[in-house]
Structure 1
């Protein structure tokens, strides 16, 4: 019937408009969500987001008990007032990023020894996360390779697997098996104060800036 056909024809544009409006609403909502997640479209990677959180003192490292090749287990933070930690995450079989981090920690250790002797307010901490292979012997060998001095630089594995996962999650540290027996992970230096608050995250080649900021945070500044 002509009237029915005309009515159906008139309904189709209205349905199309409604569909377009609904799609537009979804698009606007998606853009708003992306803007919120990326903090105003400023940070597009998870690493950038966690570094922004660190710069704003919004990352809190969960306390963790560590076990190393020397002495009894210990918990780095919370620490005494004025104590500061420079923390990295490694696995001892790593021949790339972890080896480079070890070399930078050797340099920082030397600088701290020359200035403070054994009484440094800055403590270097390397946390090994490969619970299968980072044995006390492996930790000792890693330390020997990089000339670790235990009174300045502590190397250990979390005693408890659950506490390890909680620490990694609290800092946004990711360690993913690479399918070749190793891990892809964050290769950075974390500046952590006595309360466990992360005050900055630095790429390994920026260790001088990390050390300088740690000295300032400890209240000793430059010599």
Structure 2
């Protein structure tokens, strides 16, 4: 029996060690939590990707971030009826909270579609109207060149898979970016309150 117990113990130890690595020392129990921890420890530079906005204008991802001290970014597709609705609701909430706190000039909102084939400027404009996006503070866009999509998704750690019904299964977050184009935090889509607290604290810090 001794060899059997030794084998079981070895497997258990290997499993624990593996979980320790995957969860960054047991501090993260999901891939999104792991991503948050990684970003907190080592902010990630955004790639210089051209976007096409809801007005049909080409804009640069890093230049949008450079307009204000901070930008809250989300990745969605406009036909989504699940996670993206939660994300849009969170950004609409943030838009109102930033306005009420009189710091909307310090924090921008950016929604990027990862479905450029369907999310044309006209579709993006309709989406902007649905979520009541203030064009002065909330940019709705997609990639100008579909070949940049993989780089965009990789930068934000977003995984997108066709669901077999014309839509996508994907993860998402409210990403926090600074003026230098550094992605430094990622919060759950339903954590708009926490996103506001964190971003407001940074804006108001001396």
Q: Distance in 2 between matches of 1:47 and 1:36?
A: 15
> TM-score, normalised to structure 1's length?
0.76
* 1:107 equivalent among 93, 105, 112: 93
Give the paired residue count.
Answer: 205
Structure 1 stretches lacking a partner, 5+ long? 1-20
> 1:82·1:194 contact (CA, 8 Å) conserved in 2?
yes
Q: Distance in 1 between matches of 2:121 and 2:163?
A: 24
Q: Against the structure 1 CA distance between its residues 106 and 30, is the aligned structure 2 distance closer, same or farther, given a 3 Å change threshold?
A: closer
1:85 counterpart SS class: strand
> 1:190·1:198 contact (CA, 8 Å) conserved in 2?
yes
Q: Distance in 2 between matches of 1:137 and 1:127?
A: 14
Show the 5 A alignment for 1:56-205.
56-70=41-55, 72-77=57-62, 79-80=65-66, 83-116=69-102, 120-205=105-190
> TM-score, normalised to structure 2's length?
0.82
Q: Distance in 1 between matches of 2:197 and 2:10?
A: 50
> 1:82·1:217 contact (CA, 8 Å) conserved in 2?
no
Structure 2 stretches lacking a partner, 5+ long? 1-5
2:59 counterpart SS class: coil
Q: Which is richer in strand?
A: 2
Q: Distance in 1 between matches of 2:82 and 2:101?
A: 30
> 1:57·1:197 contact (CA, 8 Å) conserved in 2?
no
Supply the RMSD in Å over aligned alpha carbons.
Answer: 3.1
Q: Distance in 2 between matches of 1:67 and 1:128?
A: 10
Which structure's CA Rg is the greater one? 1
